Amino acid sequence: MRVKLAVDWQRFEELRAQSQRCLIQFLEAELELGFTFVDSAAYQRDLGQAQHSLHTIGEARKAAAAIHHFLGRIDNPEIRDAIADRCSQLDRALPAPEAAPP
């Protein structure tokens, strides 16, 4: 016995578009958060709070990792490229692990 499923393609496409919007908003928020962490870590380092600075840089790295993880799921190539460019800027703003303060 075969069961035929009825698919509401219009609703499917609406949900897919909504999912894409949410993903893009999430990645943009992660970018902003990552840059905020980088700025905060620099401020903490300037205050002599090396351990706090290291922790905050670690949080920025987590934000960058999340962006890299989900970036390929963006359907629109222009939006994907724009987020990838900003993520590259974030990557460059992060100190190399060996250059991080002790």
pLDDT tens per residue, the chain (102 residues)? 777 777 788 889 999 999 999 999 999 999 999 999 999 999 999 999 999 999 999 999 999 999 999 999 999 999 999 999 999 999 999 988 754 454
Helices (H) and strands (E) in the chain, counts: 3, 0
* pLDDT at res. 98: 58
pLDDT at 96: 84
Please check whether residue 22 is in contact with residue 59, taking contact to mean a CB–CB distance below 8 angstroms: no
Q: What is the pLDDT of residue 36?
A: 98
